[in-house]
Structure 1
C-alpha cells in the first residue's frame, strides 16, 4: 500500500514489534472480503507498548503511560497497517466476519484488523533454504567422496542417538517395575523424559519416587451444604420476624400435636377494649402475659383427660 510505504522508520519499528512474537499479542482469525485475516483487540496493543520488551526496543519512540500508548497507536492508523473493524457473526470455519468501520480511531475496547503481513525476510530465507536442501539431495551422487562419507557418519550418529533414547526408555521401565516390588512406590529414572519440557530439562532430575500428585479437593458438595444451611437459617429468621411470632424455643420443637393444639392463639382471642377489660377482670393484662410452655400445656391436657 502507498500509505504503508510513506511511514517513518520509527513507525515501522513499532508496527514490526506489534506484528512479531515479542509483543505477546495473540491474534484472532477472521474473514474480511472473503479472505482470512488476523485481528486483535486494542487493549492488547496498549499493553504491549507498556511491556518491558518494548522498553528495550531500539529506535522506537518512548511510551511512559497508557495515554501516550493510545496516542501513538492512533497515529499509526493513517498508514493503514491496521484498521478498525466491526465483528460480525461466526462463519462455519470458526472465524468471525469482519467489516472495516468508516470511523477510524483507536480505543482499547475496539478491534483492529491487520493489513500488514510483517517482515518477509524470514519467510524468504526459509524458502531459499528449502530449495537448497532439495537440490542438494537430488545432486547427492555428484557430491565429492569426502562429503558423502561425512553424510554417512552423520546418519550413523543420528541413528545411534535414536537407539540410545529407545534403550533408555526400555531400561527405565524395567527398573521401575523392579523397584515397585522391592521399594514401593517405585523409582523413575529421568522422570521428565517424556514431559513437555526442554531437551536439557528432560534429563533433570536423575531419578525420583513415583509419588502421585495430591488429588484436588472437591468443593462442590461443601458449597452445596453451606448454601442449604444458609437457606434454612434465612427461612427461620424470616419466620421469626413475622408479626406476632417470636423466636421458636427448643422445648416446643418436641411438643406433642395435642399440646400444640391446646395452646391458645392470638387469632381466636377477643379484642381488648377499655370496657371489656374491666368487665372481665383485667383481661387485657392477662393477654400481655407470655404464652405457656409445652410442658404446661401438657399438664393442662392431662387434667382435662382426668375430668372426662
Structure 2
C-alpha cells in the first residue's frame, strides 16, 4: 500500500508499473490526519515512513507545512502503530539533523543533533518522536539517516536534476554562495538496498547512518554534470547564499555496513551518467514540474 497526499512533489506516473500489480493499493491521504495513520496501523505489517516535506529552501520560505507533515504526521503514525500489529517500522531521516561538520569529522549515530534549517529541525523532532515511542510503547521501529540521494525520478527542485534541466536548456546554473558546500552523494538504488537490509536485519531501537562516501562540493557536482551534457562551465553563476546553509555533511556508515551487511554498489561518475541519460530521455516526466518557480535561483524567496 502506498499512502500519498499527492502534494507538489508527487507524480502518479512514478507508480504506473506498480498499479498493474493486484497486490498494490494506493490511498490518497495525509498522515497529518489521524484517520490515515490509523488505516496504516490496521492494514500494514511493515512500514517504511518516507512521508515528509523535504525541500530546505521551501522550509525557509514557509515552515508550517513542514511542521504539519514531518512532526504531526510522524506523531500520528507512531501513535497509531502502538496499537497496531506491525512487525517493523523503518523511519527515513536525513544527515541534516546533525548540522554542519568540520573538515575532519564524520558524524556517527551517537553524534549530537544540531539542525540548522526548519526542515532539518522538523526531521530531528520526528526522529525523537520515533525513539520515544520505541522506548515507551515498544513500537518496533528503527531510523535510517541518509546522505544526499540522486538518480531517476528525482524532483526538479533538487540540485542534480535542476542542473541537468537548466543546462540542457542553456540556462545559467546558480550556485548558492559559490558552491563550495560539501555533500555526500548516494545513488537512489543503493539507499533502497539499505532499506531492504534494515527491514531484514535491522535491530529495533537502533539508528543507522547510510553513506556512500562520495564527498564533493556542489560546484564539483555541477561541473561534472555540465561536462557530461557537453555544456560550458561558463553557465555557472554564483548567487546569494541561503540562510543557515550548512558547509559540510559527512556520515560514518560503519554500523550499517557491519550490522546490516550493506555496501553501496554504484560509482558516482557512472551513476551520474545514468541519471543524466534518464533526464535526457524522459522530458515528458519532468517538464510539467519544471516551472520557473521550481527552477528559481533563490527558491527560499519564492511564495510557496
* TM-score computed with the length of structure 2 as normaliser: 0.15
More helix by share: 1
The structure with higher relative contact order (CA 8 Å, sep 6+) is 2
Structure 1 or 2, whichever has the larger Rg, is: 1
